[in-house]
């Protein structure tokens, strides 16, 4: 085998977004496109000669082929060993787990998460560092800079790379270990949670449904819930990963997880329902005819964390992304622990976890996780809930209502306008930014603006500053509207509007969420000109 040096031209559009580089499959299919980005990653890293790289992805269209290219390039660039999931598969949290457990130098994850897959869908790639977490902005910026000047990449010839079974082979002197994608992860879950109590719950007749949405979590959920915890067969639905996710949109929310939602809100609703996304890092939690917002889920897990063996000693602190509701803040206050507010995206939690300052983290976008890995973790959240349900022996709805009665309720919703005209969306954000200074003290509807700013974050660990992370408008009675543009979309722009109102009085905890937020929804349109500038009457997705 010989190392080949291939001449190439830079592509101008390889800027990583909120979570890696995500593009249409057709974009990735351009000659050298993937290779350029992979070489740009390697060129931005130092000191990996002879070290271990972890590679795997969510199984979407193009996953296996890209995995083989990365293996050949890792060998040509001097890595000593690659750990790769069988068939090129690894969920995002499992990849993080494997990087940490095997002391790898880093990892490459192939995923566009919840974005649809297949030849007309999306593909994605991201680099994770040795702590198992998404590369910080310093590295993603360096990768982008490199991608703009790259002229060549290195790759070895290889006849056949067999990834369909667990075995070891060498590729031009580099060792490749094809590993069971589930084993390390399942072992970690068994350390964190009370598997005996959960198994007992299933034995006593508790019934749940887990919708893997034809994505990567299927094999993980089947092994852990059905094989190890004894949940009946059929508990996991859509459990075989498909390259196009069965034509669906593997995003666990009330709109896209329709099969699960129909069952959980129907006459034959089970005790518990959950779903995960394309790459296995998101989760949706449902009780019988009851939806738990991700922000409330984070708050409830925080309040009940010590019921799980892995968290029995308590939490160092918690963190949430800025647009996530402040429900967890009040739990942290009651527990006397720190609560950090970070920009959107899991990469901002890494430093806090590495420094031992936070244990649990969460985002409103159906992401919850802890310092057990450095990614959000869908199935982990489901197991955490099961552990709490097994110990508290109350229905999901009762747990949440009791929680609200104690801490108050944060009515919360996100309105997404997907695939809108980029110029209009940018104009809308620019308009908001220009008007920020004039807003405080002003009356909008019946509310008075207390503050208005463009969120910026100074990392308390390394002092790095991230600006332009979303427009916040806060009102004197505690409500809030946040505007930001998505950094994960691949078509036009996606405008996200986050709405929140705190209600302390338990007598007022039964309102419909959209009604409880109706005045804020109207104000958001008014102040930003949403309908005028996007040409849309309604959001595409409401969560």
Query: Using CA atoms in the order 183, 352, 278, 291, what is the torsion angle rounded to 10 degrees?
Result: 110
Q: Tell which positions 80-119 bind Co ion, by CB under 5 A.
A: 113
Q: Tell me how crowded residue 48 is: count the other CB atoms within 10 A of its CB.
A: 18
Tokens of 102: 């095997």
Which partner from the list Co ion, ligand VG1, none does 122 bind, CB cut-off 5 to 8 Å by kind?
none
Residue 250 CB, shortest distance to Co ion, in Å, is 8
**Residues 369 and 362 sit within 8 Å (Cβ to Cβ):** yes
How are beta strands 81-89 and 174-179 bridged, if at all?
A: parallel
Residue 88 CB, shortest distance to Co ion, in Å, is 17
Nearer to ligand VG1, 153 or 346 (CB): 346
Nearer to Co ion, 35 or 279 (CB): 279
DSSP character at residue 228 = I
Q: What are phi and psi of 492, to 5 degrees?
A: 55, -145
Candidates 60, 114, 409, 472; binder of ligand VG1 (CB under 6 A) is: 114
Angle, nearest 10°, between helix axes 183-192 and 92-101? Answer: 90
Q: Rule CB under 6 A: is residue 496 a binding residue for ligand VG1?
A: yes
Count of chain residues binding Co ion (CB under 5 A): 5
Candidates 87, 194, 279, 459; binder of Co ion (CB under 5 A) is: 279
Nearer to ligand VG1, 487 or 529 (CB): 487
CA 177 to chain centre: 27
Candidates 487, 492, 506, 529; binder of ligand VG1 (CB under 6 A) is: 487
* Marked catalytic residue, from 111, 113, 295, 325: 113
DSSP character at residue 136 = P
Residue 173 CB, shortest distance to ligand VG1, in Å, is 34
**Residues 254 and 261 sit within 8 Å (Cβ to Cβ):** yes
Q: Rule CB under 6 A: is residue 367 a binding residue for ligand VG1?
A: yes
Q: Rule CB under 6 A: is residue 223 a binding residue for ligand VG1?
A: no
Q: Tell which positions 112-131 bind Co ion, by CB under 5 A.
A: 113
**Residues 221 and 284 sit within 8 Å (Cβ to Cβ):** no
Span interacting with ligand VG1, options 68-76, 295-303, 340-348, 529-537, rule CB under 6 A: 340-348
How are beta strands 360-363 and 367-370 bridged, if at all?
A: antiparallel
Q: Please give the angle made by the CA atoms of 530, 485 and 23, to the nearest 5 degrees.
A: 125
Q: Report the DSSP beta bridge partners of residue 339.
A: 318
Span interacting with Co ion, options 33-41, 282-290, 311-319, 443-451, rule CB under 5 A: 282-290
Candidates 194, 211, 277, 364; binder of Co ion (CB under 5 A) is: 277
Tokens of 346: 């899991």
Q: Tell which positions 19-48 bind ligand VG1, by CB under 6 A.
A: 19
- Catalytic site residue 479? no
Which among 35, 28, 128 has a CA at the least distance from the CA of 76?
Answer: 35
Q: Rule CB under 5 A: is residue 377 a binding residue for Co ion?
A: no
Q: Rule CB under 6 A: is residue 486 a binding residue for ligand VG1?
A: yes
Q: Rule CB under 6 A: is residue 295 a binding residue for ligand VG1?
A: no
Q: Report the DSSP beta bridge partners of residue 22.
A: 124
Which among 510, 272, 261, 253 has a CA at the least distance from the CA of 396?
Answer: 272
d(C-alpha 366, C-alpha 290), whole Å: 16
Unique residue bearing structure tokens 């936070």: 358
Span interacting with ligand VG1, options 27-35, 94-102, 275-283, 328-336, rule CB under 6 A: 275-283
Nearer to Co ion, 479 or 488 (CB): 488
Q: Report the DSSP beta bridge partners of residue 451.
A: 474
Q: Rule CB under 6 A: is residue 363 a binding residue for ligand VG1?
A: yes
Which partner from the list Co ion, ligand VG1, none does 222 bind, CB cut-off 5 to 8 Å by kind?
none
- The contact set with Co ion (CB under 5 A) reads 113, 277, 279, 281-282
Residue numbers annotated as active site: 113
- The contact set with ligand VG1 (CB under 6 A) reads 18-19, 113-114, 277, 281-282, 321, 344-346, 363, 365, 367, 486-488, 496
């Amino acid at each position: 085998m010989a190392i080949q040096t291939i001449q190439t031209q830079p592509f101008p559009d390889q800027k990583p977004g909120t979570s890696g580089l995500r593009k249409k499959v057709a974009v990735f299919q351009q000659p050298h496109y993937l290779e350029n980005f992979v070489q740009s990653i390697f060129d931005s890293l130092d000191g990996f000669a002879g070290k271990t790289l972890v590679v795997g992805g969510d199984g979407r269209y193009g996953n296996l082929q890209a995995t083989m290219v990365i293996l050949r390039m890792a060998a040509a660039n001097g890595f000593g060993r690659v750990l790769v999931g069988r068939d090129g598969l690894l969920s995002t949290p499992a990849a993080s787990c494997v990087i940490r457990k095997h002391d790898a130098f880093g990892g490459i994850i192939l995923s566009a998460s919840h974005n649809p897959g297949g030849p007309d869908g999306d593909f994605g790639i991201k680099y994770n560092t040795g702590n198992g977490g998404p590369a910080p902005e310093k590295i993603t910026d360096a990768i982008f800079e490199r991608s703009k000047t790259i002229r060549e990449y290195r790759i070895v010839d290889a006849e056949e790379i067999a990834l369909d079974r667990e075995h070891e082979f060498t590729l031009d002197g580099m060792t490749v270990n094809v590993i069971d994608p589930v084993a390390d992860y399942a072992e970690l879950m068994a350390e964190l949670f009370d598997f005996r109590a959960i198994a007992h719950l299933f034995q006593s007749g508790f019934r749940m449904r887990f919708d893997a949405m034809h994505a990567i979590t299927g094999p993980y959920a089947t092994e852990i819930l059905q094989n190890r915890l004894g949940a009946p067969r059929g508990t996991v639905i859509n459990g075989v990963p498909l390259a196009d996710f069965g034509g669906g949109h593997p995003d666990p929310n009330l709109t896209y997880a329709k099969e699960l939602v129909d069952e959980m809100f129907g006459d034959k609703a089970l005790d518990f329902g959950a779903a995960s996304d394309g790459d296995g890092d998101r989760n949706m939690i449902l009780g019988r005819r009851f939806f738990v917002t991700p922000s409330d889920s984070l708050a409830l897990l925080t309040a009940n964390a010590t019921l799980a063996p892995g968290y029995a000693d308590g939490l160092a602190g918690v963190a949430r992304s800025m647009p996530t509701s402040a429900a967890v803040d009040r739990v942290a206050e009651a527990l006397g622990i720190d609560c950090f507010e970070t920009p959107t995206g899991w990469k901002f939690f890494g430093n806090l976890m590495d420094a031992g300052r936070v244990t649990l983290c969460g985002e409103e976008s159906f992401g919850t996780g802890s310092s057990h890995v450095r990614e959000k973790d869908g199935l982990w959240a489901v197991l955490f809930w099961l552990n709490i349900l097994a110990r508290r022996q109350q229905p999901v709805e009762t747990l949440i209502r009791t929680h609200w009665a104690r801490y108050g309720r944060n009515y919360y919703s996100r309105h997404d306008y997907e695939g809108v005209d980029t110029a209009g969306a940018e104009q809308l954000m620019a308009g908001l930014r220009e008007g920020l200074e004039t807003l405080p003290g002003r009356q909008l509807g019946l509310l008075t603006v207390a503050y208005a700013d463009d969120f910026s974050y100074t990392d308390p660990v390394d002092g790095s500053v991230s600006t332009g992370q979303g427009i916040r408008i806060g009102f004197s009675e505690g409500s809030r509207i946040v505007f930001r543009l998505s950094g994960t979309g691949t078509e036009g722009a996606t405008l996200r509007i986050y709405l929140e109102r705190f209600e302390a009085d338990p007598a007022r905890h039964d309102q419909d969420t959209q009604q409880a937020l109706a005045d804020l929804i109207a104000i958001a349109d008014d102040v930003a000109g949403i309908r005028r500038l996007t040409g849309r009457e309604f959001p595409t997705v409401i969560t």
